[in-house]
């Protein structure tokens, strides 16, 4: 039975809140009517941000997607063995039999954060589990990002910009997807860290602040950038934006010694800190990358420019220029001859220049590495994207150092988001900020007209008055509100969906209203019936689940570290059973798993699952087999003719495993989930 609403209680609560605000005012905290509205609106936005991200709890306390289980496993290892042990951890459960050197292939930031918070709360005597901490961490960080963006927007264009920026980010689809309950992954730190870095950097440039405050803000920007560097591979984007901003300021003749200090401190701190992160410090590959060297080279360039600017004698200026040329030429020659310069990794260069991407089926099989479509942009951003374009116009019209930074932040992140769909996450904060600025600037005259406070010069008054009336201004604002509604509704709908594990990767309700629990059933069976020495073969997507939840050894996972081994897994599935068994024997595999999807609401009395690709949902191995074929260097057309599987496909191991026609002497069905989505076979040689 639903609890009854007590209006007397609500009224009493309102009275207590009012009294609380009055007491705050009595303590010397100024709370004017306008300030009260602002604080109330901000609290409401933060509450909305938190609630939207918390909605998936309805379907159970599960981490979202695949990668968060890898982060959770690292956090669990740190809690059980200590922080120092992570730096010497060689994992023999994943990428069997080679294993994985964890510190050289992973970032510690997210796992260390979860473990630190858990240990801190336990130290306070709170009875909380590590899973609970990891579930809530992205929700809290996503909400915190909305708060940071409020202050960023307020610095850019006032309180209104701050509030709208915070609101747009709170309901942004791309951002909700990566900060919802259980999405315990690198982005939880990456995005808020970048936004805070840019905010502190801008504040360190404000000449009206005391030198001490400016230095503290520059230091804060550096510490935040260190945190991002130790957590996310995409962290290199933030120093690149700072370098681009500094270079543009230099070219525009807006250099100041304050710019030199504000740029040097965070960049020097971040790149020094990178030497402590094994995956970055290995053979100094992060520092040797061409982008890192360019960003670092800007520091001495600024120093020389400062000396040049403050040198009055022409002879000394010529000497400085000569020294700079000699040092640059000598430095480039030394780095080139010594082989100290390395190019960008292919995945980063592919983002900068998407036309340079080679057709690598393994990279293309990762959905988040594909290029964005216009449909995905409008689904994730809605009206925000259109308002951002308005924001660009006003930023260019009123270009100052602050507007320049958000302009560079938005345009670069927009370009990269178009190059790779995963990077729409970086665009989310920039687009929210730019859209808020555009909306406020666009609405100002209409608000003033509607409220009767609009004043124009006498020469324009006669021309303007017949064209714009208060009614028209009000109509414009109402229209703006109405066209924003679908964005809000779509965000709520998107947030109110279960994670991949909670719905078994099938985001469609059953006729009874729930979601399939097949993967939860399968992983529970694995954990209860197999042991840590068992080797389970699956497609790489599910490796983190099998190792993190099932506790078994796997050949491949979402790290996609070893393309050769993934190719072998692809061959296991795409070859006939005789050839597959040879590869399976080589790896000492004990079990093999397949995942196929179809609509369980349309069961028939005949053969099920239905025989034919057009009758199945494109979510499981029944569609991923085409990537397996390409990765195994096979011709997809040999296995599929139009909408019909060929005889050759029906000879493959994956087909026979999916439809339970595998040779029972070698593949014995050990587990079948409720709807038959997940099938696990015991291998007999």
In a domain, 632, yes or no: yes
Same-domain pairing of 541 and 594:
yes
Taking residues 576-590, report their average pLDDT.
96
Joined tokens for residue 150: 């409020």
In a domain, 663, yes or no: yes
In a domain, 275, yes or no: no
Residue 19 pLDDT > 80, yes or no? no
Question: pLDDT above 90 covers what percent of the chain?
Answer: 58
Sign of the Cα pseudo-torsion (68, 69, 72, 78, in order): negative
Same-domain pairing of 531 and 450:
no
pLDDT band at 464 (very low <50, low <70, confident <90, very high): very low
pLDDT, position 192: 97
Which of these, 603, 491, 600, lies nearest to 179 by C-alpha position? 491
Domain around 451: 443-495
Same-domain pairing of 522 and 614:
yes
Give the position of tokens 């930074």: 405
Taking residues 203-228, report their average pLDDT.
95
Q: Give the least confident one: 188-202, 245-259, 359-373, 637-651.
A: 359-373
Same-domain pairing of 484 and 587:
no
The stretches of 99-186 forming alpha helices (DSSP H) are 102-105, 109-123, 130-157, 159-170, 173-179
Same-domain pairing of 522 and 643:
yes
Across the beta sheet with 678-683, the strand order is 553-554, 535-537, 591-595, 678-683, 667-672
Q: Give the least confident one: 382-386, 602-606, 630-634, 667-671.
A: 602-606
pLDDT, position 255: 86
In a domain, 638, yes or no: yes
Residue 608 pLDDT > 80, yes or no? no
Residues 382, 315: Cα–Cα separation, whole Å: 59
Same-domain pairing of 475 and 529:
no
pLDDT band at 6 (very low <50, low <70, confident <90, very high): very low
Residue 404 pLDDT > 90, yes or no? yes
Provide the CATH number for the domain around residue 649.
3.40.50.12610
From residue 178, give the alpha-carbon distance in Å to each of 1, 36, 122, 185, 205.
34, 32, 27, 8, 31
Which of these, 94, 74, 102, 69, lies nearest to 556 by C-alpha position? 94
Residue 8 pLDDT > 50, yes or no? no
Residue 338 pLDDT > 60, yes or no? yes
String of DSSP letters for 82-118: -HHHHTT-EESSSSTTT-EEHHHHS--HHHHHHHHHH
Joined tokens for residue 427: 């665009």
In a domain, 398, yes or no: no
Q: Which pLDDT tens digit goes with each residue over 268-277?
A: 999 999 999 9
Q: Give the least confident one: 26-35, 164-173, 438-447, 502-511.
A: 26-35
Per the model's pLDDT, the better-predicted residue between 298 and 114 turns out to be 114
Per the model's pLDDT, the better-predicted residue between 364 and 214 turns out to be 214
pLDDT band at 486 (very low <50, low <70, confident <90, very high): confident
Question: pLDDT above 70 covers what percent of the chain?
Answer: 83
This prediction has a pTM of 0.88
Domain count of the fold of the chain: 2
In a domain, 469, yes or no: yes
Which 8-state DSSP code applies to residue 283? G
pLDDT, position 462: 47
Per the model's pLDDT, the better-predicted residue between 358 and 430 turns out to be 430
Same-domain pairing of 537 and 570:
yes
Burial (CB < 10 A; 0-12, 13-18, 19+), residue 585, is exposed
Q: What phi, psi does 680 have (nearest 5°)?
A: -120, 125
pLDDT band at 421 (very low <50, low <70, confident <90, very high): confident
Residue 515 pLDDT > 70, yes or no? yes
pLDDT, position 241: 96
Residue 516 pLDDT > 80, yes or no? yes
Same-domain pairing of 610 and 559:
yes
Per the model's pLDDT, the better-predicted residue between 302 and 223 turns out to be 223
Pairing of strands 535-537, 591-595: parallel
pLDDT band at 116 (very low <50, low <70, confident <90, very high): very high
In a domain, 674, yes or no: yes
pLDDT, position 465: 46
Per the model's pLDDT, the better-predicted residue between 615 and 77 turns out to be 77
Taking residues 666-685, report their average pLDDT.
94
Domain boundary among 462, 495, 528: 495
Same-domain pairing of 552 and 632:
yes
Residues 91, 66: Cα–Cα separation, whole Å: 18
Same-domain pairing of 479 and 522:
no
Give the position of tokens 């529970």: 524
Same-domain pairing of 641 and 542:
yes
Q: What phi, psi does 457 have (nearest 5°)?
A: -60, 150
Q: Which pLDDT tens digit goes with each residue over 551-566?
A: 999 999 999 999 999 9
Looking at every residue in the chain, the average pLDDT score rounds to: 85
In a domain, 177, yes or no: no
Same-domain pairing of 460 and 600:
no
């Amino acid at each position: 039975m639903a609890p009854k609403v007590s209006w007397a209680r609500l009224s009493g609560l309102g009275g207590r809140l009012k009294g609380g605000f009055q007491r705050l005012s009595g303590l010397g905290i100024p709370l004017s009517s306008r300030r009260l509205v602002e604080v109330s609106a901000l609290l409401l936005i933060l509450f909305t941000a938190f609630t939207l991200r918390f909605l998936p709890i309805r379907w159970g306390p599960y981490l979202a997607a695949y990668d968060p289980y890898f982060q959770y496993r690292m956090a669990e290892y740190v809690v059980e063995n200590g922080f120092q042990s992570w730096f010497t951890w060689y994992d023999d459960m994943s990428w069997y039999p080679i294993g994985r050197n964890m510190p050289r292939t992973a970032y510690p930031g997210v796992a260390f954060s979860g473990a630190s918070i858990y240990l801190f709360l336990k130290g306070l005597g709170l009875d909380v589990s590590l899973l609970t901490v990891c579930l809530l961490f992205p929700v809290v960080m996503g909400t915190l990002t909305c708060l940071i963006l409020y202050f960023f927007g307020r610095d850019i264009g006032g309180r209104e910009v701050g509030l709208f920026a915070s609101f747009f980010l709170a309901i942004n689809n791309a951002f909700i997807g990566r900060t919802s309950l259980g999405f315990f992954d690198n982005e939880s730190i990456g995005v808020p860290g970048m936004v805070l870095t840019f905010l502190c950097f801008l504040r360190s440039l404000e000449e009206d602040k005391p030198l001490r405050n400016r230095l503290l803000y520059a230091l804060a920007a550096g510490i935040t950038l260190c945190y991002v560097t130790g957590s996310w591979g995409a962290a290199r984007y933030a120093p690149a934006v700072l370098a681009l901003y500094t270079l543009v300021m230099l070219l525009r003749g807006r250099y100041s010694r304050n710019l030199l200090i504000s740029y040097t401190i965070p960049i020097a701190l971040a790149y020094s800190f990178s030497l402590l992160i094994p995956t970055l410090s290995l053979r100094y590959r992060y520092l040797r990358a061409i982008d890192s060297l360019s960003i670092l080279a800007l520091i001495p360039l600024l120093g020389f420019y400062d000396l040049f600017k403050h040198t009055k004698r022409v002879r000394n200026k010529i000497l400085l220029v000569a020294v700079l040329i000699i040092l640059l030429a000598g430095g480039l020659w030394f780095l080139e001859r010594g082989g100290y310069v390395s190019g960008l990794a292919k995945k980063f260069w592919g983002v900068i220049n998407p036309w340079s991407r080679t057709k690598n089926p393994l990279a293309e099989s990762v959905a988040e590495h594909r290029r964005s479509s216009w449909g995905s942009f409008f689904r994730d951003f809605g009206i925000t994207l259109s308002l951002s374009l308005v924001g660009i116009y006003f930023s260019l019209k009123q270009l100052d150092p602050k507007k320049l930074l958000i302009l560079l932040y938005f345009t670069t992140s927009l370009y990269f988001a178009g190059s790779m769909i995963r990077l729409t996450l970086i665009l989310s904060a920039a687009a929210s900020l730019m859209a808020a600025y555009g909306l406020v600037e666009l609405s100002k005259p209409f608000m003033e007209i509607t409220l009767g406070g609009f004043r124009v010069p006498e020469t324009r008054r006669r021309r303007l008055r017949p064209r714009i009336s208060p009614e028209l201004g009000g109509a414009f604002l109402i229209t703006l509100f109405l066209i924003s509604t679908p964005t809000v509704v779509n965000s709520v709908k998107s947030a109110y969906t279960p994670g991949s594990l909670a719905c078994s990767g099938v985001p469609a309700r059953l006729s009874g209203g729930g979601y399939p629990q097949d993967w939860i059933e399968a992983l529970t069976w694995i954990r209860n019936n197999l042991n840590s020495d068992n080797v389970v073969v699956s497609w790489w997507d599910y490796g983190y689940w099998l190792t993190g939840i099932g506790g078994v050894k796997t050949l491949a996972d979402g790290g996609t570290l070893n393309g050769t081994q993934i190719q072998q897994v692809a061959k296991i599935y795409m070859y006939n059973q005789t050839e597959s068994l040879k590869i399976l024997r080589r790896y000492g595999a004990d079990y093999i798993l397949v995942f196929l999807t179809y609509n369980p609401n349309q069961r028939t009395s005949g053969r099920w699952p239905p025989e034919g690709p057009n009758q199945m949902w494109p979510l499981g191995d029944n569609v991923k087999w085409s990537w397996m074929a390409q990765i195994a260097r096979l011709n997809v057309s040999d296995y599929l003719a139009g909408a019909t599987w060929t005889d050759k496909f029906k000879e493959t191991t994956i087909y026979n495993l999916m439809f339970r026609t595998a040779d029972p002497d070698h593949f014995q069905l050990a587990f079948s989930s409720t709807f038959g989505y997940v099938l696990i076979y015991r291998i007999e040689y």
